[in-house]
Amino acid sequence: MKSNYLGLVGLAYRAGKCSLGEETIVKDIRQNRAKLVLLASDTGPQTRKKITDKCKSNNIPFIIADDRETLSNAIGKSHRVAIAILDAGFAAKIKSLLG
Three-class DSSP category at 82: strand
- CATH assignment of the domain containing 21: 3.30.1330.30
Residues in the chain: 99
- Residue 38 pairs in a beta bridge with 63, 83
pLDDT, greater one: 86 or 2: 86
Q: What is the number of domains present in the chain?
A: 1
Tens digit of each residue's pLDDT (9 = 90 or more) over 20-63: 999 999 999 999 999 999 999 999 999 999 999 999 999 999 99
Which amino acid is located at 44 in the chain? G
Q: Which domain holds residue 28?
A: 2-98
- Give the closest residue to 43 by CA, choosing from 71, 18, 17: 71
pTM attached to this predicted model:
0.95
